[in-house]
Structure 1
Amino acid sequence: MPRPIKVRKVEFFPKSTYFIPLGKQKCKIDEVNLKVEELEAIRLKDIDGLSQEECAQKMAISRQTFQNIIDSARKKIAIALTEGKAININGGNYTTKHCKFKCLDCGNVYEIKYEQDRRSCPECGSSNVACDKGRKFCHRWCKKSE
């Protein structure tokens, strides 16, 4: 039986999450799914220029796991670019250190996992949640769509 996947820490969430080659229609194109933690690995290593060890520490994973994630991300991006596929950024096993949320009904305090938990409490399902720092929304990406 394989080990369970460890949740990776992610600090960056893109504004744009879908990229299509110019001149192609979304309904007629294959896509590659790039996980959020794969994008984070690319950002840390290739844009921020951190060492593999520093990247692994920031994401709270081993160096080997980081290497596996970045290899997967680079392969997916290369396939999309060479085969003219769309890139869809979503999903994965990640958490963020930016914000902890608190359910105002049951008192549960939890780290958000991006879209899933910022709208409702994972414990009781209540939508009466707020940033645990005392503000209703502490970051642009915490903001609820109303």
Structure 2
Amino acid sequence: MTDCKLLVQKAYEGRKNAYIPYSHFPVGAAVLAEDGRIYTGCNIENASFGATNCAERTAIFKAVSEGNRTICAIAIVGVEDDYTYPCGICRQVIAEFAAPDIKIILGKNPDEYIVKTLDEILPGAFTKEDLEK
């Protein structure tokens, strides 16, 4: 498993590409796929706010579009000196592609981060298993 600090650093690299003319709130994400590859993403805003895409989904969709359907870890960084949690839609997308023991890493700065589980950030998640009941 790639270490958490590396994923946080990659998320900060992704954040540099954020397109944020409206919120001015840059977010970066880095996803570790099952095959060991790392995909980065940034938030991409749009004048039609509904067309905006979050950094987490950008990174996850890049992984999925390259054939990786399972993510083992995701690092998320926003403004310096505070933890940025994923929005509700991103939490649901993480749940869709998450490995059972996924690590959700929230970076406060490049050297300080916390690690959460999916159950901690999305208790009672609705998943594909619910559709099989």
TM-score (norm 2): 0.26
Q: Which has the higher strand share?
A: 2
Q: Which protein shows a greater Rg?
A: 1
